[in-house]
Amino acid sequence: MAQDVNWYWQKVEKILHDDVHMIDHTKKVLEYVQQIASDQIGIGIEEKRRIEVIALLHDIGILAAEKKHGSRAGKFQHIEGPPLVREITKQAEEKPEFIERVAYIVGNHHNFSKADGIDFQILIEADMLVNLQNEKIKKNRLEEFIDKFFKTKKGKELARQIYL
């Protein structure tokens, strides 16, 4: 029996325990993922659940990255995230394809060129919606960036609403 979002939340909160910022960040990314996925035609219930799990687990390796490599940089998160993803999704009794897909996206989510599906795309858009304020993009390039980066209708709409 696979598990629902609440079950995953408990795991995530345990691993990110006292990092209020990361818990808050994960919560926001999950909300955006849900908004974008709900607006997207052709995403079934099971795919939506997988995308939610991806959002919940996408930064799960961040504390391990800091502990083992002394850095929260994406490349270290990409190393430390997937083993945690496999551990948690196995506990949740997910199917092997599910486990590998979530591990792949978590292990590559800062490499936008690796985005090879709508699930990956939705995650990076949701993450960017939260993080865009920290990106060093000049105001006059922002609109161009949003139009290029965001591919889903809802993602584009939200980015324009928040940042333009």
Verify binding: residue 80, Fe ion, rule CB under 5 A. Answer: no
Helix/strand/coil for 153: helix
DSSP label at 2? -
Asked whether position 59 contacts Fe ion by CB under 5 A, the answer is yes
Of 50 and 109, CB closest to Fe ion: 109
Q: Which stretch binds Fe ion (CB under 5 A): 35-43, 56-64, 68-76, 93-101?
A: 56-64
> CB neighbours of 128 closer than 8 A, spacing ≥ 6?
135, 149, 150, 159
Of 78, 83, 30, 72, nearest to 54 by C-alpha is 30
139 to 158: interface string for Fe ion, x by CB under 5 A: --------------------
Tell which residue, 122, 117, 119, 106, has the closest CA to residue 155. 122
Are 99 and 90 a contacting pair, CB within 8 Å? yes
Measured from the CB atom, the residue of 94 and 127 that comes closer to Fe ion is: 127
- Does 94 participate in binding Fe ion (rule CB under 5 A)? no
Does 127 sit near Fe ion (CB under 5 A)? yes
Q: Is 52 in the site for Fe ion (CB under 5 A)?
A: no
CB of 96 to Fe ion, least distance (A): 25
Cβ 59 to Fe ion, closest distance in Å?
A: 4
Decide if 29 contacts 126 (C-beta within 8 A).
yes
In the complex, the residues that contact Fe ion under the rule CB under 5 A are 59, 127
